Amino acid sequence: MGTIKFRKEVSALPAELSTNTLYMVRVGTGFDLYVSDSTGSVAHKINSSNSLDIIEAASPETGTTHTFDLSLGGSQAVTFPAGGTVTLAFSNYPANKKAGFIIEAVNGGNCNIIYPTGSRFVNKALVGLTVSGTDVMLVVLDNGVPTFYINKNVGVV
What is the residue-wise DSSP string for the chain? ----EEEEESSS--SSPPTTEEEEEEETTEEEEEEE-TTSS-EEE-S-SSPBPEEEEE-PPTTEEEEEETTT-SEEEEEPPTT-EEEEEEESPPTTSEEEEEEEEESGGGSEEEPPTT-EEGGGSPPPPPSSSEEEEEEEEETTEEEEEEE-S----
Question: How do the pLDDT tens digits run along the chain, 157 residues long?
Answer: 467 777 777 678 888 888 888 788 877 667 777 777 778 776 766 655 445 678 888 999 999 999 998 888 888 999 999 999 999 999 888 777 778 888 989 999 989 999 988 888 876 667 788 888 888 888 888 877 888 877 766 554 3
pLDDT in the model for residue 114:
92
pTM to 2 decimals?
Answer: 0.65
